[in-house]
Amino acid sequence: RLKDYFMGRVRFYTALVFARLTYLAIKLLNRSSGTSFVGMMTLKICPNFLSYCKKYIKKSAITVSGTNGKTTTSGLISHIFEFDKCRIIHNVKGANMLTGIANVFALNVLPFKKFDYAVLESDEAYLTKLYDYFESDFLVVTNLFRDQLDRYGELSTTASFIQNAIDKSQAKLILNADDPLVTNFGKGRDAVYYGFEEVEFCSDVHNSTSNAPMEVFNCICGEPLQYSKQFFAQQGHYFCKSCGYKRPELSYKGYVKVYADYSVLKVYSVSDGKSYEFKLNLVGLYNAYNALAAIACAFENGIDYHTIKDAVSSYQSIFGRAEKRVINGHDTLIQLIKNPTGASEVLKTVDLSSNIVIAINDNYADGRDISWLWDSDFEQLKNASGLVITSGTRANDMALRLKYAGIPQDRIIVEENIKSAIEIAAKSDNIEERITILPSYTALLKISKMKF
């Protein structure tokens, strides 16, 4: 056993050295962003690499999972901790499979360097594998929506991935109580629930309603759930007339006013009986949910109100999650779309006076199945007054979807080359014209590397 322990440590430190050398070579050759390849090589050298990493975390390890909002929620949590002058390890670029998580540890861990917190976004299907090696102190689950059918299957499959992880972990759960599928994870566990009591839309620019088809969810007794308030998709105040099952009591009660470019949240903490106010400079109710999850997690980790407030108000999303850029002088908003519910919520927030580029690829990371386009509420764009340009490998499929959404064909431009499509949108000399880009995941990766 002593020999196995010694050999394990040798493999671990060898992997650390090799990771640094590999990353340096990648940068010198300018061949990759290095978000997963280093991690893949690290795990080949030391398959148990992640099991050695927890000892480098002094306070808490936090994992964030769910269909939508993982990157923004984990980014907000990390930003709050950094505002509290803590040392953080965080897979900030969103590489959320085992290789991506191993990657961030391999490039940051040093033998005598410790971190206060680890904030790890985890793909739903890989969460249980992560917990085989790395014990988390908190697990935040954002929501469960129908996603890439060819990768995740139906919602019951995705839920089983997360449940399997929970069953092998002692992590304290921080759960979205407004999602009946997420609430189920808290049965018999130490769970903290957050949700919205009231939602008010305070902008004429964005639509609060959606034409996207609603999922129908049954209670555990088999009867359909009823709603007294339904905010979007299955999110809301639900109950069962048959058995009395209902949305659980909240630890953090949210009240939100959603404006065109920001939201104002009031959060009532049941534990201390106080209300706290926050301003979030991100668009949409879906981002307000992400902020509420992050705020709940921060409070649970003992961060004071003023630190959380300042961090939330200063947070700027990155990497296509309401990311703001200037392209050829034009203010540009980039919003990832990848599944029906997420896309429909993003589409509610689109500036219809902007030039719109929709870039859809069907690579493995996007999901080969693009049927989700037909369940997404692209009808929200039928009153768009600017250019509407479809791009990517499925540009023609997207153009067809827009035709059936009620956008005249003569107003739809098809340009498969993504950079060329964006250049068309940014061609005007009038810098007052804004641009909205709605890419799938691999299209977003390409756009992040483009220079204009």
Could you read off the pLDDT of 213-244 as tens digits, one per residue? 566 678 888 888 999 999 988 899 999 999 98
**Is pLDDT of 131 > 80?**
yes
Could you read off the pLDDT of 255-275 as tens digits, one per residue? 999 998 899 999 999 999 999
Is the CB of residue 279 less than 8 Å from the CB of residue 261? no
Q: Please give the pLDDT value at position 155.
A: 80
245 contact partners, CB below 8 Å, separation of at least 6: 219, 220, 221, 239
**Mean pLDDT value of segment 98-114:** 91
Q: Distances from the Cα of 175 to the Cαs of 41, 185, 217, 298, 355, in angstroms?
A: 34, 8, 18, 14, 37
DSSP string over 45-77: H-TTGGGGTGGGEEEEEEEEESSSSHHHHHHHH
Q: Please give the pLDDT value at position 314.
A: 97
Instruction: Give the bridge partners for 110, in sequence order.
Output: 113
pLDDT tier for residue 85 given thresholds of 50, 70 and 90: very high
Active site residue 369: yes
Could you read off the pLDDT of 183-206 as tens digits, one per residue? 999 998 989 999 999 999 998 766
- Torsions phi, psi of 246, nearest 5? -155, 170
- Torsions phi, psi of 401, nearest 5? -60, -40
Q: Please give the pLDDT value at position 9.
A: 84
**Is pLDDT of 152 > 70?**
no
Alpha helices of 323-429 — where are they, by DSSP H?
340-348, 372-375, 395-404, 418-425
Query: Of residues 119 and 27, which shows the higher confidence score?
Result: 119
**Is pLDDT of 150 > 50?**
no
Could you read off the pLDDT of 11-47 as tens digits, one per residue? 999 999 999 998 888 888 776 655 688 999 999 999 9
**Is pLDDT of 414 > 50?**
yes
From 430, 343, 348, 425, select the one nearest 390 (Cα to Cα): 425
Burial class (CB in 10 A: 0-12, 13-18, 19+), 259: middle
Q: Please give the pLDDT value at position 180.
A: 93
- Mean pLDDT, the chain, integer: 91
**Is pLDDT of 285 > 70?**
yes
Q: Please give the pLDDT value at position 299.
A: 98
> What span, in angstroms and rounded, lies between the C-alpha atoms of 199 and 253?
11
> What span, in angstroms and rounded, lies between the C-alpha atoms of 182 and 250?
14
Q: Please give the pLDDT value at position 214.
A: 63
pLDDT tier for residue 175 given thresholds of 50, 70 and 90: very high
Q: Please give the pLDDT value at position 205.
A: 67
From 161, 186, 166, select the one nearest 176 (Cα to Cα): 186
167 contact partners, CB below 8 Å, separation of at least 6: none
Which residue is catalytic, options 369, 377, 397, 429?
Answer: 369
Pairing of strands 435-439, 57-65: unpaired
Residue percentage of the chain with pLDDT more than 70: 94
> What span, in angstroms and rounded, lies between the C-alpha atoms of 102 and 30?
21
Could you read off the pLDDT of 379-413 as tens digits, one per residue? 999 999 999 999 999 999 999 999 999 999 889 99
DSSP string over 311-352: HHHH----TTEEEEEEETTEEEEEE---SHHHHHHHHHT--T
